[in-house]
Amino acid sequence: MVREVGAATRLLRGLMAPPLHAAGITQAEFHLLVILEERGTSTGKELSCKLSLDKTTVSRQLTALEEAGAIARTTDPANRRSHLITLTDEGRDRLADARRRTIAVLEDRFSTWPPEELDVLADHLARFNDQLRGVGVTEAPGP
Residue ranges of domains in the chain, CATH in brackets: 18-134 (1.10.10.10)
Q: What are 39-90's pLDDT values in tens digits? A: 999 999 999 988 888 999 999 999 999 999 999 999 988 888 889 999 999 9
DSSP class per residue in the chain: -HHHHHHHHHHHHHHHHHHHHHTT--HHHHHHHHHHHHHSEE-HHHHHHHHT--HHHHHHHHHHHHHTTSEEEEEETTEEEEEEEEE-HHHHHHHHHHHHHHHHHHHHHTTTS-HHHHHHHHHHHHHHHHHHHHTT-------
Question: What pTM, to 2 d.p., does this model score?
Answer: 0.82
In this prediction, residue 132 carries a pLDDT of 83
pLDDT tens string 112-142:
999 999 999 999 999 998 888 776 545 555 5
* pLDDT attached to residue 24: 92
